[in-house]
Structure 1
Amino acid sequence: MEFWLTFNNGQEKLRLPVPPSEFEISQGNINTVVNINDIGEINLIGKGKLATITISSFFPAQEYDFCDYTGFPKPYECVAMIEKWRNSGRPIRFIITETLINLACAIENFSYGEKDGSGDVYFTLELKEYRFVNVQQAALEQKGYSMPATKREITKTIPNTYIVKKNDTLWMIAKKLTGKGENWTIIAKKNNIKDPKKIYPGMKLVI
Structure 2
Amino acid sequence: MGLGALSNVIEILSAALSGGTGGAYRQVILTHDTDKLILPVTPATYKVSTAQGNKIVSITQVGEALIFGMPKLQTLTLECFFPALIHDYPFVVGDTKSPAECVQQLIKWKETRTPIRVIITGTPVNMAMAIQTFDYREQDGSQDIYYTLGLTEYKDLNTPAANNDKAVDSTTGLKERADNTQAATSATLVQKGADVLDAAKKSYGQYSHWRRIVQSNDLKDLAINNISKLRKLVIKN
> Fold conserved (TM > 0.5)?
yes
Cα distance in structure 1, aligned partners of 2:110 and 2:81 = 18
Identity of aligned residues (%): 38
Match of 1:14 in 2: 37
**Residue number among 149, 174, 179 corresponding to 1:125 in the alignment:** 149
Match of 1:203 in 2: none
**Residue number among 106, 116, 129 corresponding to 2:140 in the alignment:** 116
The residue type paired with residue 106 of structure 1 is A
Stretch deviating more after TM superposition (127-136 or 97-106): 127-136
Give the TM-score, by structure 2 length: 0.58
Match of 2:58 in 1: 35
1:109-138 per-position Cα deviation (integer Å, ceiling 9, x unaligned): 10111112221111110111111102567x
Q: CA deviation at 1:157?
A: 7.8
1:168-183 aligned within 5 A: 168=171, 170=172, 173-174=173-174, 176=175
Q: Structure 1 127/39 Cα, relative in aligned 2: closer, same or farther at 3 Å?
A: same
Gaps in structure 2 of 5+ consecutive residues:
1-25, 179-237
- Asked if 1:4 corresponds to 2:29, the answer is yes
The residue type paired with residue 20 of structure 1 is P
Secondary structure at 1:127's aligned position in 2?
Answer: strand
The residue type paired with residue 43 of structure 1 is L
> Larger C-alpha radius of gyration, 1 or 2?
1
CA RMSD of superposed structures (Å): 2.4
Cα distance in structure 1, aligned partners of 2:42 and 2:123 = 14
Q: CA deviation at 1:19?
A: 0.7
Secondary structure at 2:148's aligned position in 1?
Answer: strand
Cα distance in structure 2, aligned partners of 1:44 and 1:125 = 33
Equivalenced residues, count:
151
1:85-127 per-position Cα deviation (integer Å, ceiling 9, x unaligned): 0111111111101111111111111011111222111111011
Gaps in structure 1 of 5+ consecutive residues:
138-153, 180-207
Q: CA deviation at 1:156?
A: 2.8
The answer to whether the 8 A contact 1:109-1:127 is kept is yes
The residue type paired with residue 129 of structure 1 is E
The residue type paired with residue 156 of structure 1 is N
The answer to whether the 8 A contact 1:136-1:157 is kept is no
Q: Structure 1 177/35 Cα, relative in aligned 2: closer, same or farther at 3 Å?
A: farther
Q: Structure 1 7/136 Cα, relative in aligned 2: closer, same or farther at 3 Å?
A: closer
- Asked if 1:156 corresponds to 2:164, the answer is yes
Match of 2:89 in 1: 64
